[in-house]
């Protein structure tokens, strides 16, 4: 009888564990898994509909592609084609949506974005709505519709989406800074991005100014206290501590940087005045 009880107990344990294991979510958002492991992530910015440029960026070593739809003429058809063209690239697609409307969020998710970057966040209500529109029930009210998301991320997309999605709030204004704790505290918000340039534009203060730095510190501290990731421009990766999520320069800027490096490698004197020495001990430039 004791043996039978043990057998039944073992069986019941297995029946309990196996369904639990079946509930483990398949993770395909590599940005989210890398952050959870304590790493830092960098996204290259794309604001052109050229699929070849998108693919070059997505295969160049970035963790994700920051697809710029707030400050560009890109439409969702353009972006859907770009994402599909490089569906096997290591860098996963994130979209900075024009605004946190239900339509923008639904379309961005339907075409395959794994991250939604919400601009101009001044209060927690905007992020509560973003989470509600982005996640499937019971956590939100995203409806089931058409799109290429299933072909990109698998037949279990509906079941895995809420766990794989990343939602990032951008704080760009003094109003957003004042509400940083409430914004970061919204359930479903994964990260808060300090929009360094816009913060300076809205306040009239440059980086390094005490007033500017107080705003940055307030956003960062509020985000850390909420247990969320902190984002900023790529220049902050080496100049400031405690940031995990970064935006790299745009494709145009990277083309200019790459062209200059290529030209300087071919002709060290190209950008130097006559008489300057490219490397100590070498002949001066003609």
User: Using CB atoms within 10 A of its CB, is residue 14 exposed (0-12), middle (13-18) or buried (19+)?
Assistant: exposed
What is the C-alpha end-to-end distance of the chain, expressed in Å? 99
pTM of the predicted structure, to 2 decimals: 0.86
User: Using CB atoms within 10 A of its CB, is residue 276 exposed (0-12), middle (13-18) or buried (19+)?
Assistant: exposed
- The pLDDT value recorded for residue 22 is 42
How many Å apart are CA 149 and CA 139, to the nearest integer? 19
146 cis-preceded (ω within 30 degrees of 0): no
Does the pLDDT value for residue 3 go beyond 70?
A: no
Catalytic entry in 9, 25, 71, 256: 71
- The pLDDT value recorded for residue 9 is 39
Cα separation values, 260 from 223, 247, 273, Å: 38, 21, 16
- The pLDDT value recorded for residue 23 is 56
Report residue 25's pLDDT band, with 50, 70 and 90 as the boundaries.
confident
- The pLDDT value recorded for residue 261 is 93
Contact 247, 43 (CB under 8 A): yes
- The answer to whether residue 123 is catalytic is no
Cα separation values, 102 from 98, 130, 219, Å: 11, 8, 26
User: pLDDT tens across 53-110, in order?
Assistant: 999 999 999 999 999 999 999 999 999 999 999 999 999 999 999 999 999 999 999 9
The residue with greater pLDDT, 62 or 252, is: 62
How many Å apart are CA 189 and CA 167, to the nearest integer? 5
Give residue limits of the domains in the chain: 26-265
Contact 134, 103 (CB under 8 A): no
- The pLDDT value recorded for residue 199 is 96
Q: Where are the alpha helices (DSSP H) in the chain?
A: 2-22, 30-36, 51-58, 76-85, 102-110, 124-134, 149-153, 157-164, 174-178, 180-184, 196-203, 210-225, 236-239, 251-266
Does the pLDDT value for residue 4 go beyond 50?
A: no
In this structure, are strands 229-233 and 245-250 parallel, antiparallel, or unpaired?
parallel
Bridge partners for 66 per DSSP: 45, 94
Nearest Cα to Cα of residue 46 among 30, 77, 69, 29: 69
Contact 110, 143 (CB under 8 A): no
Q: In CATH terms, is domain 26-265 a member of 3.30.360.10?
A: no
Contact 55, 91 (CB under 8 A): no
């Amino acid at each position: 009888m004791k043996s039978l009880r043990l057998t039944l107990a073992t069986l019941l344990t297995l029946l309990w564990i196996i369904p639990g294991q079946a509930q483990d979510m398949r993770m395909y958002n590599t940005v989210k898994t890398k952050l959870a492991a304590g790493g830092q992530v960098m996204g290259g910015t794309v604001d052109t509909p050229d699929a070849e440029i998108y693919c070059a960026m997505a295969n160049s070593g970035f963790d994700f592609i920051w697809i710029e739809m707030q400050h560009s003429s890109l439409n969702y058809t353009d972006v859907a084609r770009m994402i599909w063209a490089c569906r096997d690239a290591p860098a996963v697609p994130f979209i900075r949506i024009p605004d946190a409307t239900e339509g923008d969020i639904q379309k961005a998710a339907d075409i395959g974005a794994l991250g939604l970057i919400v601009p101009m966040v001044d209060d927690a209500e905007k992020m509560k709505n973003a989470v509600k529109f982005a996640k499937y029930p019971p956590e939100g009210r995203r409806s089931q519709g058409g799109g290429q998301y299933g072909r990109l991320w698998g037949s279990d997309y509906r079941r895995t989406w809420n766990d794989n999605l990343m939602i990032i709030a951008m704080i760009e204004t003094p109003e957003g800074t004042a509400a940083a704790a409430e914004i970061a505290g919204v359930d479903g918000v994964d990260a808060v991005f300090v929009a360094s340039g816009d913060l300076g534009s809205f306040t009239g203060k440059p980086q390094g100014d005490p007033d500017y730095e107080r705003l940055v510190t307030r956003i960062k501290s509020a985000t850390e206290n909420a247990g969320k990731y902190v984002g900023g421009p790529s220049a902050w990766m080496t100049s400031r501590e405690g940031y995990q999520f970064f935006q790299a320069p745009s494709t145009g800027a990277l083309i200019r940087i790459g062209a200059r490096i290529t030209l300087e490698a071919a002709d060290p004197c190209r950008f130097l005045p006559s008489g300057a020495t490219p490397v100590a001990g070498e002949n001066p430039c003609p």
